[in-house]
Amino acid sequence: MQDQYRTVAHEGVHETEISRSRFICALAPAATEEEAQAFVARIRKEHPTATHNCFAYVIGADASVQKASDDGEPGGTAGVPMLQMLMRREIRYAVAVVTRYYGGVKLGAGGLIRAYGGVVGEALDELGTLTRQRFRIAVVTVDIQRAGRLENDLRATGRTVREVRYAERVTIEIGLPDAEVDAFRRWLANATAGTAGFELGGEAYGDA
pLDDT at residue 1, as a whole number: 57
Rounded Cα gap, residues 135 and 39, in angstroms: 28
Rounded Cα gap, residues 15 and 85, in angstroms: 17
Instruction: Report pTM.
Output: 0.74
Indicate the CATH number of 131-207 among 3.40.120.10, 3.30.70.240, 1.10.340.30, 3.30.460.10.
Answer: 3.30.70.240
Which contiguous run of DSSP H or E holds residue 147? helix 144-156
pLDDT at residue 201, as a whole number: 85
Domain ranges of the chain: 4-127, 131-207
pLDDT at residue 164, as a whole number: 93
Asked whether this chain's domains 4-127 and 131-207 adopt the same fold, the reply is: no
Residue-wise burial string across 132-154, b where 16 or more C-beta atoms lie within 10 A, e elsewhere: bbbbbbbbbbbeeebbeebbeeb
Q: Say what the alpha-carbon torsion angle 72, 77, 80, 81 is, to the nearest 10 degrees.
A: -140
Neighbours of 78 (CB within 10 A): 27
Binned average pLDDT, 10 residues per bin, the chain of 208 residues: 84 96 97 97 97 97 95 97 97 97 95 98 96 88 91 87 91 88 92 91 73
- Superfamily the domain 4-127 falls into: Impact, N-terminal domain (3.30.230.30)
Residue 105 CA, distance from chain mean position = 36
pLDDT at residue 132, as a whole number: 87
